[in-house]
A and B are shown apart, each in its own frame.
Chain A
């Protein structure tokens, strides 16, 4: 904003100094992202029941900013694969993952989603990481809600370490510095 040249009134708010924080772009973006994760609940088996419990009032996912479960992949940014992934369902899981916009993360919740679990058979995919990249694996069969919360916090720590601006917005940076 440019003040009129002939004006003697200073357009400067002296109180503004206490309201400004200097930080790195990455840190600011990561801070915003990690405290507002919108999960895509990919509930496939009994793990989904524990996931629902984690979202309800007793365990309360919203304390970590992840209470907005979105059943549309286009509005979600973390997919919680909760349950046994059969080969037939795996195709749908992959498709939903592909529909989620970047940046996106994946939590493999429970033994089945992580490794096929006890289902050593022709019908079950031996871990969802064979199809999509997984950020956090949660052990348990099924994991308790506390374990899911722990996994979510681990994911928050992981997001903190990402170079979200420098790595993910290369084209924008190139445009700005050109």
Chain B
């Protein structure tokens, strides 16, 4: 069974829970309701033999409702097919963990929690993974500035605002020459 057939099978099995299916250059994506995400992923693992969870990541659409989106990248070593499952998550809503299905999700979900602040219900070890315990912010949210915010926890750690020197270094693809494409510094767009 190839990925397109699996998408059809999932649509039949889960019906209305599958909000949308996309196919782009051979990549198949399912957008599903949060309530059915866990059973659907469980079905993918148990019945459709997606034995490898490549990645768990999250997106922040600040200003849109619901604000966040979870993305699960699946792969099967038996059938060599890829599948992407996305589900939208509102702020302050907990996502059921998939670390009981794929143990690798444990650290991926900790990273999502650390960087984006999405909590996972049923996770065995819901701690920060990159920043230290007690760090007050979630750095990959859109409302967090690139240069950081100062934070100070005595005996634990601190961060300072990083000097940006005329704004972050950003290349402009397609500009005429190297100097306009990659200047030494670039004023932030007002």
| A123 contacts partner chain B, Cβ-Cβ < 8 Å | yes
Which residues of A are at the interface with B, using a C-beta cutoff of 8 A?
A: 87-88, 90-91, 116, 118-124, 126, 130
Task: Using A87-B131, A120-B168 as known contacts, say yes or no to A126 and B160 having CB atoms under 8 A apart.
Answer: yes
Number of interface residues of B (CB under 8 A): 22
- Digit string of B140-167 for contact with A (CB within 8 Å is 1, else 0)? 0000111111000000111110111100
Closest CB in chain A relative to B150 CB, distance in Å? 10
- Inter-subunit contact A121/B146 (CB<8 Å): yes
8 smallest beta-carbon distances between A and B, as pairs: A122-B148, A120-B162, A122-B139, A87-B159, A88-B132, A121-B162, A91-B157, A120-B164
In the assembled complex, which residues on chain A have CB atoms less than 8 Å from the CB atom of B159? 87, 122-123
Quick one: which of A87, A116, A119, A121 contacts B157, CB cutoff 8 A? A87
| Residue of A116, A122, A124 most packed against chain B (CB within 10 A) | A122
Write out the residue numbers on chain B whose beta carbons fall within 8 Å of the beta carbon of A116.
162
Chosen A-B contacts, 14 in total, with CB atoms closer than 8 Å, are A87-B131, A87-B157, A87-B158, A88-B130, A90-B157, A91-B156, A120-B164, A120-B169, A121-B148, A122-B149, A122-B162, A123-B131, A123-B139, A126-B160
- Known interface pairs A87-B158, A87-B159; A122-B147 also in contact (CB < 8 Å): yes
Interface SS of B by simple majority = loop
B131–A88 touching, CB < 8 Å: yes
Measured between beta carbons, the chain A residues less than 8 angstroms from B131 are: 87-88, 123
Question: Taking CB as reference atom, which chain B residue is nearest A90?
Answer: B157
In the complex, residue of chain A having the shortest beta-carbon distance to the beta carbon of B132: A88
Chain B window 39-77, contacts with chain A (Cβ cutoff 8 Å), 1 for yes, 0 for no: 000000000000000000000000000000000000000
